[in-house]
Structure 1
Amino acid sequence: MHAWPASEVPALPGQGRDLRIHDTATGGLVTLDPGPVARIYVCGITPYDATHLGHAATYNAFDLVQRVWLDTKRQVHYVQNVTDVDDPLLERAERDGVDWVALAEKETALFREDMTALRMLPPQHYIGAVEAIPGIVPLVERLRELGAAYELEGDIYFSVESDPNFGKVSNLDAAAMRLLSAERGGDPDRPGKKNPLDPMLWMAAREGEPSWDGGSLGRGRPGWHIECVAIALDHLGMGFDVQGGGSDLAFPHHEMGASHAQVLTGAFPMAKAYVHAGMVALHGEKMSKSKGNLVFVSQLRRDGVDPAAIRLALLSHHYRADWEWTDQVLQDAVTRLAQWRAAVSRPDGPSADTLVEEIRAALSNDLDAPAALAAVDRWAARQEQEGGSDTGAPGVVTRAVDALLGVAL
Structure 2
Amino acid sequence: MTSPAAPPRTRPTPELRALAAAGPRRVVVLGSTGSIGTQALDVVRATRGLGGDGPFTVVALAAGRRSLELLAEQAVETRAAVVATSGGGDDAARLARLIGERAAAAEEGSYRPEVLHGPGAAAAVAAHPDADLVLNGITGSIGLAPTLAALGAGHKLALANKESLIAGGPLVKEAAAATGDPDALIPVDSEHSALAQALRSGTGAEVDRLVLTASGGPFRGRTRAQLEAVTPQEALRHPTWDMGLMVTTNSASMVNKALEVLEAHLLFDVPLERIDVVVHPQSVVHSMVQFVDGSTIAQASPPDMRLPIALGLAWPHRVPGAAVPCDWTRAAQWTFEPLDREAFPAVDLVKAAGERGGTHPAVFNAANEEAVHAFHDGRIRFPAIVGTVEAVLGEHEGVARPDLEAVLEAERWARRRAQELLAR
**TM-score, L = length of structure 1:** 0.29
Q: Which structure is richer in relative contact order (CA contacts within 8 A, separation 6 or more)? A: 1
Q: How high is the TM-score relative to the length of structure 2?
A: 0.28
Which is higher, the Rg of structure 1 or of structure 2? Answer: 1
